[in-house]
Amino acid sequence: MKKKILIVDDKQSLSALVAQFLHQNFEVITKKNGIEAMLWLQDSNLPDLIITDLEMPKMDGLELIKRIKESGFFSEIPVMVLSCKNTSKDRIECLKTGATDYMVKPFNPEELLIRLENILQKSIV
C-alpha cells in the first residue's frame, strides 16, 4: 500500500507538479491552505507526511505546523516545508515550531523524493 502525502500549497500549478512527480510512489492529496488541510485532517484523514508551503492565504504554513504539533492526534505526522523563503531565520523558526525538514523552491525533484523517503523510513505514523 502506498504511503499517503498531503501537499498544502495555494499555487495549484506547483501542487500539481509535485503531485505528478510523487504519484508513482505515493498517494497524493492536495489542499490550497492550512484551513483546508486542518478540515481534511479533522475529517478522520491521516497522511503519512505533510508537505506545506509557508505563504498561503487564510492559514499560512507556520500556523498549520503549530496546530498540527499542538494537536495530540496529529502531532506525530512529519511535516516538510517547501518554500521560497530562504533565510536562516525562516528555516530555524519552522524547525523550532516542529517542521521535520525544510527545502527551498525551486527544488530538485530527486532530492525531494530522497528526503521524503528518508523521513518516512524514520517515521512511525
> Distances in Å between the alpha carbon of 41 and those of 35, 67, 91, 108, 114?
10, 11, 25, 28, 25
* Parent domain of 36: 3-119
pLDDT at 10: 96
pLDDT at 33: 97
Task: Tell me if 114 is assigned to some domain.
Answer: yes
List the end-to-end C-alpha distance of the chain, in Å, as a whole number.
14
Task: Tell me if 125 is assigned to some domain.
Answer: no
Task: Tell me if 111 is assigned to some domain.
Answer: yes
Task: Tell me if 124 is assigned to some domain.
Answer: no
pLDDT at 123: 73
Task: Tell me if 19 is assigned to some domain.
Answer: yes
Report the domain count for the chain: 1
Q: What is the CATH number of the domain that holds 111?
A: 3.40.50.2300
Task: Tell me if 81 is assigned to some domain.
Answer: yes
Helix axes 88-97, 61-70, angle to 10 degrees: 20
pTM for the predicted model, two decimal places: 0.95
pLDDT at 62: 97
Note down pLDDT in tens along the chain; length 125 residues.
899 999 999 999 999 999 999 999 999 999 999 999 999 999 999 999 999 999 999 999 999 999 999 998 999 999 999 999 999 999 999 999 999 999 999 999 999 999 999 999 987 54
